Structure 1
């Protein structure tokens, strides 16, 4: 399974971006696609149209998608406000099967304000997905890096393959 971070352009230069941390720690399991409103990534759109990709997105409806049924998981890598903009301006994301990640613990991410209750940062979502699909070593590696990053933002580990 591939985790695709659909990243808002502004996230690329933010020291508090945990998507970059997931990319560095998880090798080929995680990839980044920069979101473009007018020119969406054709492979991503096709994956959704073929029913091969599901979107992680917290909405107020039934989530009948099962993570294990998909080859690709799309995770919006942006602030909460930017994530809503990406979703609202991307018809292919609205058409994608959706599932939510629920955890019993609150987010430990403290580097940004306006975290909604129950909301997780990108790295925490990636860790939850990795645990669910049995990639425990990658999840543990990302978790250790996230702990350090959460104390000292901008500290990126060496990229792994």
Structure 2
């Protein structure tokens, strides 16, 4: 990211965030609007001056339609189990600042995989990727199902 190394402030990743105390009274810019960014931003806004920045407008979805969590509806309707991951051509991208770990991974290339199994390195599997096998793949309700699938396939090798 241009200017990252000349930036005089502190740069941190959502994975390192624990609580708002260290940011009290500070100006904070959050890059991206994924779930973690939005949750951290909402919490920090009570303690700091927060700006959320994205490349595209943020699209918020009602998390509790009819008073029940959206994940509940994906589960009971089985919509979250539909195998649409391989058919979804353009997964949503969320810009992220980091210590260089993600940047190096991106330079090396996005994992070439199908349903979580590497297509370039036999015996390697992935979990938690957006649209890996379905709508819930990157969420808590889907990652377990995907992990079981990947583990079963890898154990057959």
Please report the TM-score for the alignment, with normalisation by the length of structure 2.
0.30
Q: Is the strand fraction higher in 1 or 2? A: 1
Select the structure that is richer in helix.
1
Of structures 1 and 2, the one with the larger relative CO (CA 8 A, separation 6+) is 1
Larger of the two Rg values belongs to structure: 2
The TM-score normalised by the length of structure 1 is 0.30
